[in-house]
Amino acid sequence: MTVVEAESFLADAESLLDQHWPRRTSDTFVWGVGSDSVAAFPEIDRVDEPAALAAARAWRRTRFDAGFGELEGEAHREYERLEARYEVPDQSFFTISLGMVAPAIEAHGSEVARDRYVRALRRGDLIGCQLFSEPGAGSDLASVTTRAERDGDGWVLTGEKVWTSGAHYSDIGEVLARTDPAVPKHAGMTAFVVDMHDPAVTIRPLRQMTGGAGFNQVFLDGVRVSDDLRLGEVDRGWSVAISTLTNERAMIGDGAARGAGIAGRSLELLAATGRRSEPVARQMAADLVVSQTVTALTNRRFRQVHGDGTAGAEVSLEKLAGALDMRRLADFASYVLGARVTADSGEWGTYSWSQLVLGEPALHLAGGTDEVIRNVIAERMLGLPR
């Protein structure tokens, strides 16, 4: 995109946004003003969720129809930076749809699946979730036991999935199932798209320690899936899973890096708690800001070298670095606030940090545990032996 094209693109985007949404009153964070939420993950109460989802869908459709729904590369990033300056509805409902499910269907789906789902996902007409993890198959994803059995020109899926984000408001799910139990576990798996509204799909909420219930258990009790909703070749689902996980790690790393941007608040937190002169707290704050800055610069360098085709191992490094930055932030807040991070006194900017402290451990599990990610980096980036 040339300079002239970029300027025209941003002018058009800004015009669209100005027509629909007010600008945020200030791009600068002011301690004690506005919301003090610093949660690691957005958590909307299920009572308020339908209205928030409807508003998010409406804006996604407007944005898509205006030509800003299928952006890639630098154009996408420029638009996202611009949109962040406006009071648009929460778009986190579409994170998994756009970051994982739509790319998987586009890369591995049949023409029927691509035509039916990709545009609908990008426009917000449909929302997708990822059905990979099981009670006995978390980091060891190849141990999935959900079965997919041939039945005429289709398949019947039976099994249980767990920790499925957004399953309760999703329309479709990308599911990994075992199609040949007689071969080594990394073989014999196949990926499919399932209808989350099918009567044979049961969804139950999982309450996490933050108090939210964004995760779910999903039971597949003989769900019928036509063969044209298979992703990739039969028994070759591991390659589909790997490409999906690569996208997930990029998505998590990106989100954690943006979330760690609240590390700048650490300086205000020091001042607000009167611990500005305490050496240990000052050192923790400095380490946090430096680490988050290095992570952001490293991510930018990867994007400059690889564009949107960042290698899987480098995506893993982004994910690990972002998760570790969030841990540093949670540790810092816990140290500085002490009991106030768990005892709600009503004081602005204190108890609210409990959402981050309780939520950030999930970043070290989702998309592969830190240990799995370190192995990927060691073997694929550093060339170390298994």
Q: Considering only CA atoms, which of 308, 268, 379, 307 is closest in space to residue 99? A: 308
> pTM for this structure?
0.85
In this predicted structure, what is the pLDDT of residue 319?
Answer: 86
Give the active site residue among 83, 134, 174, 248: 248
Q: How far from the centroid of its chain's Cα atoms is residue 374's Cα?
A: 20
pLDDT for 386 equals: 87
- Tally helices (H) and strands (E) across the chain: 13, 8
User: What is the Cα–Cα distance from 318 to 292, expressed in whole angstroms?
Assistant: 11
Structural tokens at position 16: 């669209």
Type of residue found at 307: G
248 in catalytic set: yes
* H or E segment to which residue 269 belongs: helix 265-272
What's the pLDDT score for residue 4? 57
**What letter represents residue 283's amino acid?**
Q
Q: Contact 169/93 with Cβ under 8 angstroms?
A: yes
pLDDT of residue 205: 92
CB atoms within 10 A of CB 234: 15
Say if residues 21 and 87 touch (Cβ distance below 8 Å): yes
Distances in whole angstroms, Cα of residue 373 to Cα of each of 30, 134, 334: 36, 19, 26
pLDDT per residue over 56-76, tens digit each? Answer: 999 999 999 999 988 887 888
Give the chain's domains with CATH numbers. Answer: 128-235 (2.40.110.10), 240-381 (1.20.140.10)
Give the separation between CA 386 and CA 384, rounded to whole angstroms. 7
Distance between CA 300 and CA 194 in Å, rounded? Answer: 36
pLDDT number for residue 180: 95
Provide the residue-wise pLDDT of the chain in tens; the chain has 386 residues.
665 577 889 999 999 999 999 998 765 667 788 778 887 777 788 888 999 999 999 999 999 999 998 888 788 888 998 998 999 999 999 999 999 999 999 999 999 999 999 999 999 999 999 999 999 988 788 899 999 999 999 999 999 999 999 999 999 999 999 999 999 988 999 999 999 999 999 999 988 887 777 889 999 999 999 999 999 999 999 999 988 888 887 777 666 555 545 666 777 887 888 888 899 999 998 898 888 888 888 878 877 776 655 556 778 888 898 889 989 999 999 999 999 999 998 999 899 899 889 989 988 888 788 998 899 889 988 899 98
Given phi > 0 = left and psi -120 to 50 = alpha, else beta, which region is 349?
A: left
Q: Which pLDDT belongs to residue 59?
A: 97
Question: pLDDT tens digits for 106-118?
Answer: 999 999 999 999 9
pLDDT of residue 93: 94
Burial class (CB in 10 A: 0-12, 13-18, 19+), 317: buried
Is the Cβ–Cβ distance between 317 and 294 less than 8 Å? no
